[in-house]
Amino acid sequence: MDVNEAIDKRRSIRQYNQAIVPTHVIFEVLDAARRAPSGCNAQPWRFVVVQDRLGVEALRKNEAFPQSFVYEAPVIIVCCADPTAYAGRYGGENQVAEGTVPENADERKALFRIIEGKAVVRAIRDVSIASAFMVLRATELGLGTSYIGLINEEAIRTALRIPEDLLILFVVLMGYTTREPLNTPRKSLEEILISDK
């Protein structure tokens, strides 16, 4: 399966069978996320994988998700971000080497002034990119996934003991399904393209 086929095949799956997702498959999916690009190569993503019943029950007890189907997924991946990962970073190592940012540290810092104070936005962006890589790799491996944004961040933090300095952004459900997903309509290119003319 190539990337285009994975993009075409990916659907939001909310019903899974109870087949166990092997650990090595979960690691392959997380490794795809690890290889995603990030601003200044900060790699702010952190993932908490929940697949044991104790973890799931802790989430349920804390009422982490208002939708009950979330607790039935074989794998729940909590996608977190460390906004402090950008501190002191003004361009990645490769940018300096290739000459796309100045060698002088003060000049680099001045160049990046426009995004100072936007660490949270950058972290959300970069974790979203990483999670898209993760979802496409999962699709390639025959898994279904679904992004879940209806979450109670503090309930998740408490249940899983996630440090306060990490942002909890969303979760990705993952598992095998025997049900063929429905096609969902997509806007045309004309509807999403804003012309510069």
Asked if pLDDT for residue 186 goes beyond 90, the answer is no
Asked if pLDDT for residue 136 goes beyond 80, the answer is yes
Residue 137 forms part of a structural domain: yes
Residue 66 forms part of a structural domain: yes
CATH of the domain at 23: 3.40.109.10
Residue 163 forms part of a structural domain: yes
Instruction: Tell me the CB-side half-sphere exposure of residue 11, using CA atoms within 13 A.
Output: 15
Residue 81 forms part of a structural domain: yes
Parent domain of 184:
3-192
Residue 96 forms part of a structural domain: yes
Task: Give 55-64 contacts, CB < 8 A, sequence gap 24+.
Answer: 55/159, 55/160, 58/159, 58/160, 59/155, 59/156, 59/159, 59/160, 61/159, 62/152, 62/155, 62/156, 62/158, 62/159, 63/152, 63/155, 64/151, 64/152, 64/155, 64/156, 64/159
Residue 197 forms part of a structural domain: no
Q: For the segment 102-118, what is each residue's pLDDT rounded down to a tens digit? A: 888 888 888 888 888 89
If one counts the domains in the chain, the total is 1
The model's confidence at residue 183, banded by pLDDT at 50, 70 and 90, is: confident
User: What confidence score (pLDDT) does residue 190 get?
Assistant: 87
Q: Which of 108-112, 122-126, 171-175 has the lowest mean pLDDT?
A: 108-112
The model's confidence at residue 89, banded by pLDDT at 50, 70 and 90, is: confident
Between 24 and 5, whose confidence is greater?
A: 24
